[in-house]
Copies of this chain bind each other. A is one copy, B any other.
């Protein structure tokens, strides 16, 4: 069930590749239109879910419906493209999340910085909306859900794991189960706030609260693992 179709993710775009392919005769497709469509569709899908209509997308992108269909084969593919581009935009889960953290930084500060960045990402209203849409569409688009999770929280977890390993090697932390500990840190960090955001019970976490919360989390984490 996982795949029988090798070109399902990545590109099934027949003529969208701009740079590489043979330049076909006639007027080329406008990259701007494509971007406009993608942008408009993202907004609408994140706001209304797959309930948003193709007509609405076309109108919001200031483009004819035909053009939408000329750039994207259908609604599902447009949806996929939207989510993928969003994931790429945010580049979250990138090892970049701890790229510029100096190995000399005290453990506590390093952990604080990492969790703070993670929170900024997954508490971002667009990402929350994405989370909602993806989870509600998970059964229809299982690979997108997987992609989101792996490059999102999963990726961050890997990055945190790497950081922890450094610090264990440096003797700053007790030996630990990297995988478990990394998740534990993230679990403590997002937990209930994330749930409340997803249910629309709060619109954001006040900066000061978040700050205090994360300090507390890091402190607790160190209480467990500090050497």
Which A residues have a C-beta under 8 Å from some C-beta of B? 49, 132-136, 138-139, 142, 145-146, 148-149, 153, 157, 180, 183-184, 186-188, 190-192, 195-196, 198-201, 216, 220, 223-224
Contacts and interface: CB of A to CB of B under 8 A. Distances in A.
A133 B136 contact: yes
A197 to B, nearest CB: 10
Contacts of A216: 180
A53 to B, nearest CB: 14
Given A180-B216, A201-B145, A153 B195 contact: yes
Contacts of A180: 216
B184 A153 contact: no
Contact of A199 (B138, B190, B198, B220): B138
A133 to B, nearest CB: 7
A197 B138 CA distance: 10
Contacts of A192: 153, 157, 183, 186-187
A195 B198 CA distance: 12
The 9 closest A-B pairs by CB, nearest first: A187-B191, A136-B136, A138-B200, A145-B199, A135-B198, A223-B224, A183-B192, A220-B224, A138-B199
A153 B201 CA distance: 13
A135 B135 CA distance: 9
Contacts of A148: 199
Contact of A145 (B133, B136, B200, B224): B200
Contact of A187 (B49, B134, B188, B201): B188
Contacts of A149: 195-196, 199, 201
A45 B185 CA distance: 35
Contacts of A139: 200
A61 to B, nearest CB: 23
A191 B186 contact: yes
B191 A134 contact: no
B135 A199 contact: yes
Nearest to A150: B201
Contacts of A133: 136
A191 B193 CA distance: 11
